[in-house]
């Protein structure tokens, strides 16, 4: 399974439309050129504009009129059935780093593809989390997950760099504002 397969909020009910795999083997239709992916990559400060007029917002993303800079966090970092769907500009941290694609990607990377939708580990090989004795999610793990989401969605090198910078900034911010709070536990216990 590919990370881009995790983009549908409820994949058993409805797939991503238009499809991500067009059979051409090329990626030119991905990133901000795909209406669903454009929403995921849209800077969160522009998500209201995207909701009001997706076509114009996508054109502005493609042309650079909406600048996608390192400090403009992408909408996929917030929770909601649509990326950034529950974003509250007055409380930016509410739902931050709770986006379903980020969670699914991190499960895929650290506990295995079978755990993405909540299944227990059942493989014969140990997970990455087990191999590296991970018992908590640390800021650098979140940064790695963010970069993987961006890279696997057909984003450009610039989009991947932007995600990496945003994730790093988020990790630094998390460390400085929540230094007393313990790291979040993994979604389920690791097998012994």
pLDDT tens-digit series, residues 1-57: 466 678 888 887 888 888 887 778 777 888 888 999 899 999 999 999 999 999 999
Residue 10 within any structural domain of the chain: no
Residue 45 lies in a domain: yes
Query: Is residue 106, in this structure, part of any structural domain at all?
Result: yes
- Cα separation, 169 vs 115, in Å, equals 28
Question: Within 64-184, where are the H helices?
Answer: 100-110, 128-131, 139-152, 157-177
- Asked if the structure places residue 70 within a domain, the reply is yes
Number of structural domains found in the chain: 1
Position 15 in a domain: no
19 falls within a domain: no
Q: Is residue 172 part of a domain?
A: yes
Averaged confidence pLDDT in the chain: 79
* pLDDT, tens digit (0-9, with 9 covering 90-100), for 78-114: 999 889 999 999 999 999 999 999 999 898 888 888 8
Per-residue pLDDT, averaged over 153-161, amounts to 51
Domain that holds residue 155: 28-185
């Amino acid at each position: 399974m590919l990370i881009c397969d995790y983009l549908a909020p409820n994949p058993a009910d409805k797939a991503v439309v238009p499809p991500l795999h067009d059979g051409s083997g090329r990626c030119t239709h991905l990133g901000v050129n795909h209406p669903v992916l454009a929403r995921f990559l849209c800077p969160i400060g522009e998500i209201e504009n995207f909701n009001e007029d997706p076509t114009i917002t996508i054109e502005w993303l493609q042309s650079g009129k909406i600048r996608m800079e390192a400090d403009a966090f992408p909408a996929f970092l917030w929770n909601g059935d649509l990326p950034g769907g529950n974003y509250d500009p007055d409380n930016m941290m509410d739902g931050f780093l709770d986006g379903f694609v980020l969670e699914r990607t991190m499960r895929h990377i650290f506990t295995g593809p079978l755990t993405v939708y909540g299944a227990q580990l059942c493989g014969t090989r140990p997970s990455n989390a087990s191999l590296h004795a991970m018992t908590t999610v640390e800021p650098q793990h979140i940064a790695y997950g963010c970069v993987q989401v961006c890279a696997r969605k057909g984003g450009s090198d610039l989009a991947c760099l932007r995600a990496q910078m945003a994730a790093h900034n988020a990790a630094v911010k998390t460390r400085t504002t929540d230094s007393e709070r313990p790291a979040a536990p993994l979604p389920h216990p690791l097998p012994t």
